[in-house]
């Protein structure tokens, strides 16, 4: 049976490479972006390219309806996210900056997971031992390892997302739905032009961890926080 992956923010960077990887592996790839035209060239079927703004509950609902309640999802990768203005400090970051970053990086992934929960339950029942939710996180989310300044809204939003993910992992375990938080590394993308890791290397590493989690029928890995090389990160 062909497995199905849903990837948010698949138009560029890590998300695009994830879509390319799973397409090459023979999965059905359901790719989303704010503009469907940005998904051209991915090789996914036209009917599997969807418009999705994760900050909009209406957009999420429309996407879930279009996907259909009968579609089994084996893997959901919540990749869509924003970094925010690197230059803003504690003195000039605004309420709007904080709210937008949290809406995108924290609330959005939670609402997408919520909207696709029945699809994930189907995925856990057909063609795989478990279904898996992967939230693309960051080592910047680690409170323990935070020893530098800057990226206030981004750090906080990813830390909050990790907390939500941990709660989801506990609540969804009985449905055989696993949840992981993955730090992709400092990847060279439009969001991080000075990155030192290629999207290809990052995705290859994350794919190994994802495969482990999909084969983890006892769900021992659920709720954990890893980097792309398989190192477990502190909260």
pLDDT in tens, 41-74: 998 999 999 999 999 999 999 999 999 999 999 9
**What is the total count of domains within the chain?**
1
Residue 125: predicted pLDDT: 85
Residue 158: predicted pLDDT: 98
Residue 232 lies in a domain: no
The CB-side HSE value for 96 (13 A sphere, CA atoms) comes to: 2
Contact 105, 157 (CB under 8 A): yes
Residue 235 lies in a domain: no
Q: How confident is the model at residue 128 (pLDDT cuts 50, 70, 90)?
A: low
Q: What is the mean pLDDT of residues 166-171?
A: 98
Residue 132 lies in a domain: yes
Q: How confident is the model at residue 153 (pLDDT cuts 50, 70, 90)?
A: very high
Task: Give CA–CA dist 63/6, Å, rounded.
Answer: 11
Residue 194 lies in a domain: yes
Nearest to 28 by CA among 150, 101, 123: 123
Q: Give the CATH number of the domain where residue 97 resides.
A: 3.40.50.720
pLDDT exceeds 90 at position 187? no
Its domain, for residue 31, covers 4-227
pLDDT digits (tens, 9 = 90+) for 90-118: 889 999 999 999 999 999 999 999 999 99
Residue 175 lies in a domain: yes
For residue 48, the tally of other CB atoms under 10 A from its CB is 18
pTM, whole model, 2 decimals? 0.95
Residue 55: predicted pLDDT: 98
The first and second tokens of residue 126, run together, are 């057909």
Contact 168, 179 (CB under 8 A): yes
Residue 22 lies in a domain: yes
């Amino acid at each position: 049976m062909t497995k199905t992956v849903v990837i948010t923010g698949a138009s560029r960077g890590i998300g695009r490479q994830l879509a390319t990887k799973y397409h090459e592996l023979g999965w059905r790839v359901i790719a989303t972006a704010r503009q469907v035209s940005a998904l051209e060239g991915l090789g996914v079927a036209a009917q599997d390219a969807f418009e999705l703004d994760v900050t909009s509950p209406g957009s999420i609902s429309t996407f879930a309806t279009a996907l259909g309640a009968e579609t089994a999802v084996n893997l959901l990768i919540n990749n869509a996210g924003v970094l925010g203005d690197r230059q803003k400090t504690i003195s000039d970051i605004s309420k709007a900056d904080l709210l937008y970053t949290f809406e995108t990086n924290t609330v959005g992934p939670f609402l997408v997971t919520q909207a696709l929960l029945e699809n994930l339950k189907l995925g856990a029942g057909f063609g795989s031992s478990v279904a898996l939710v992967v939230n693309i996180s960051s080592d910047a989310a680690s409170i323990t390892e935070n020893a530098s300044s800057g990226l206030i809204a981004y750090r906080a939003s990813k830390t909050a997302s990790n907390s939500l993910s941990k709660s989801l992992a506990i609540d969804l375990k009985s449905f055989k739905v696993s949840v992981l938080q993955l730090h992709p590394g400092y990847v060279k993308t439009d969001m991080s032009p000075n990155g030192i890791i290629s999207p290809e290397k990052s995705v290859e590493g994350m794919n190994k961890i994802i495969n482990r989690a999909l084969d983890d029928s006892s769900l021992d890995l659920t709720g954990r926080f890893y980097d792309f090389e398989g190192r477990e990160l502190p909260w």
